[in-house]
Amino acid sequence: MERIYLDANATTPLAPAALAAMMPYFSEHFGNPSSQHAFGSAPAKALRRARGQVAALLGAAREDEILFTSGGTEANATAIRAALAADPNRREIITSTVEHPAVLACVDALERDEGVIVHRIGVDAEGRLDLDAYRAALSEDVALVTLMWANNESGTIFPIEGLAEWAHEVGALFHTDAVQAAGKLPLDLAAAGVDMASVSAHKIHGPKGVGALYIRHGTRFAPLIWGGKQERGRRAGTENIPGIVGFGAAAEMADPAGAAQLAALRDHLETEITKAVPKVRVLGDRRDRLPNTSLMAFEFVEAEAVLMMLDRAGIAASSGSACSSGMIEPSHVLRAMDVPFTAAHGAIRISLTRETTRAQIDRVIAELPPVVARLREMSPFWTQVVEQGEAVS
């Protein structure tokens, strides 16, 4: 049985060319890029090359605007802490209710331990930011606005350029978690006007444990990790050279324009599933969504059960729920979007990789509807719906 991987927003397979580029830096080019002797020169050169490759993917104006980190999580934490340290007179942060835990847990800690005031802006049913609430929260006390470019669960895209402009009107720094946007949307950070942006290699067919923070030239900055002078004193610690080389290679191979074509496959999936299955809703912004992402909520089934049966059929997807204290709770994103309880519990995220084929999607279209039907037959809620003679469509 061919196993079909449809969980690209969790991680992507390492591109063989990225792996091949990395290999020599585990062996013959093991040197420390900070060393003055001959062993340091190949790794130092590789580091410069990778910085250029990542800068090009992001549309950075200068290569030294790229700071390598251990991943998206560290990039987010670095940006948030740096903004607060840069201007001690500003003690407020604006973010949204649908950010990744890498942002939300970080600002929660700052609120709890350091008295920072956090404004969490809500979203509508399609996951779109409440612009009025955002405008109202902006003031000269705001150190940082941190809003994601694209949501990992719903795929909804925030209008980053306009949001950044408003932040700058009150003198706040603007950071965006672009982990899901990079490689899937054409990014031009120099033009977008953002001050900082986080990206992660493993979401673009690079290795895990490496990412970058884009820091616009001239942005006020303070390091998160102190020590040696690596990364121009902005992030101490000997660089993860093989990882960074793999990240650079993956960045060079990324094809955001090509990723746009995934939308046709994704739309085909949604059209056929909504035809074949009653009581399903497609979530996320219907006009402005990541091309590879589909979040569908099947009413009156448990997402976990659907995923288990799909997995048995060789199809890997993920759900919009997470267990907390023994209960399966809809994710914070689904709750923020106010998805009704019966639908939120049956929300499945299917996220395509650039390797996903039409034949694979057709297999999902064949396998998924009978799985949902079988589970509904066992559901007392579903039986009630059918007995009450509700039009099931």
Ligand X SMILES: Cc1ncc(COP(=O)(O)O)c(C=O)c1O
Active site residues: 323
Q: How many CB atoms sit inside 10 A of residue 136's CB?
A: 11
128 binds, among ligand FES, ligand X, none (CB under 5 to 8 A by kind): none
Contact with ligand FES (CB under 6 A): which of 151, 321, 351, 356? 321
Contact with ligand FES (CB under 6 A): which of 323, 327, 359, 391? 323
Query: Judged by CB under 6 A, does residue 100 bind ligand X?
Result: yes
Number of residues this chain uses to bind ligand X (CB under 6 A):
12
Taking CB under 6 A as the binding criterion, the range among 156-164, 176-184, 269-277, 357-365 that sits at the site for ligand X is 176-184
Contact with ligand X (CB under 6 A): which of 12, 180, 230, 379? 180
Taking CB under 6 A as the binding criterion, the range among 118-126, 135-143, 254-262, 317-325 that sits at the site for ligand FES is 317-325
DSSP 65: G
Cα–Cα distances in Å, from 223 out to 86, 110, 231, 248? 10, 16, 10, 23
Q: What are phi and psi of 150, to 5 degrees?
A: -140, 140
Phi-psi region of 389 (alpha: psi -120 to 50; beta: other; left: phi over 0): left
Query: Judged by CB under 6 A, does residue 264 bind ligand FES?
Result: no
Cα torsion 267, 269, 270, 271 to 10°: value is 80
Q: Which two tokens stand for residue 171?
A: 């003198």
Contact with ligand X (CB under 6 A): which of 33, 43, 72, 242? 72
Query: Judged by CB under 6 A, does residue 179 bind ligand X?
Result: yes
- The Cα–Cα gap between 360 and 355 comes to 10
Contact with ligand X (CB under 6 A): which of 12, 152, 156, 318? 152
Helices assigned H by DSSP within 280-353: 303-312, 332-336, 341-344
Query: Judged by CB under 6 A, does residue 148 bind ligand X?
Result: yes
Cα 133 to the chain's mean position, in Å?
A: 23
152 binds, among ligand X, ligand FES, none (CB under 5 to 8 A by kind): ligand X
Cα 84 to the chain's mean position, in Å?
A: 23
- Residue 248 sits at the vertex; the CA angle it makes with 246 and 254, to the nearest 5 degrees, is 100
Strand partners for 213: 67, 198
Q: Which one-letter amino acid corresponds to residue 66?
A: I
Q: Which two tokens stand for residue 131?
A: 């612009």
- The Cα–Cα gap between 303 and 220 comes to 44
Is 130 or 329 the residue whose CB approaches ligand FES more closely?
329
Query: Judged by CB under 6 A, does residue 308 bind ligand FES?
Result: no
Number of residues this chain uses to bind ligand FES (CB under 6 A):
5
Q: Which two tokens stand for residue 33?
A: 């890029």
Taking CB under 6 A as the binding criterion, the range among 41-49, 201-209, 288-296, 322-330 that sits at the site for ligand FES is 322-330
- The Cα–Cα gap between 161 and 147 comes to 11
Query: Judged by CB under 6 A, does residue 278 bind ligand X?
Result: no
73 binds, among ligand X, ligand FES, none (CB under 5 to 8 A by kind): ligand X
322 binds, among ligand FES, ligand X, none (CB under 5 to 8 A by kind): ligand FES
Is 65 or 153 the residue whose CB approaches ligand X more closely?
153
Residues at the interface with ligand FES (CB under 6 A): 304, 321-323, 328
Residues at the interface with ligand X (CB under 6 A): 71-73, 100, 102, 148, 152, 177, 179-180, 200, 211
